[in-house]
Amino acid sequence: MFIKTMPTVLAILPEGFEEIEAVTPIDLLRRAGVEVTTAALADDTPVTGRTGITVRADTTLARVAGNTYDLLFLPGGPGVKHLRADPRVAALVKAQAAAGRWLAAICAAPTVLNDAGLLAGRRHTAHFSVAAELPARLADERVVIDGKIITSRGAGTALDFGLALVGQLISPEKSREIHASICA
């Protein structure tokens, strides 16, 4: 008998993450039944976002670094500088891509994918604040999917982004169901 397991997602939360960009997609994925693990980039699970909201992550990146996930999710905000500076994140991004698994980044976080050499020749979007680094970004697109990479612009597109993640990991029907249930 074949038992289908739900997809798994690792969401990495650095200090200074953009709360809307992290919590909204995580919420939508969990509503869809996806197993989402939130991991603090630092060594303690309380992580404070850019507006001072503290979230208790499920674990730390150090504790789950060897695990495999169907999707690696990077929220944006000022904390992206911590994601970019951490060699573990770069290694995870590259391993995820090499294995043909999903990568998702919103706001300034697509720069992490770019640092790993993954956006060259791919359609993508990002926040206008990183336009100089990502001049080929599709500035008018709310969410862009190219292969196994999903990018989005910022806090105002987090709902669209989260629904797109559900649509890709579960099904377009599930995304529409959640869209209706939250009156989006």
Q: What is the DSSP string of 42-108?
A: SSSSEEE-TTS-EEE-SEEHHHHTT---SEEEE--STTHHHHHH-HHHHHHHHHHHHTT-EEEEETT
- 106-127 tens-digit pLDDT: 999 999 999 999 999 999 999 9
Is 183 annotated in the active site? no
Q: What is the value of pTM for the model shown?
A: 0.96
**Percentage with pLDDT > 70 across the chain:** 98
Does domain 8-179 fall under CATH 3.40.50.300? My reply is no
Among candidate residues 107, 143, 149, 166, the one labeled active-site is 107
Cα(127)–Cα(152) distance, integer angstroms: 8
| CA–CA separation, 13 and 136 (whole Å) | 26
What single DSSP character describes residue 122?
S
| pLDDT class of 5 with cuts at 50, 70, 90 | confident
What kind and span of H or E run contains 162? helix 158-169
The chain-wide mean pLDDT, for the chain, equals 97
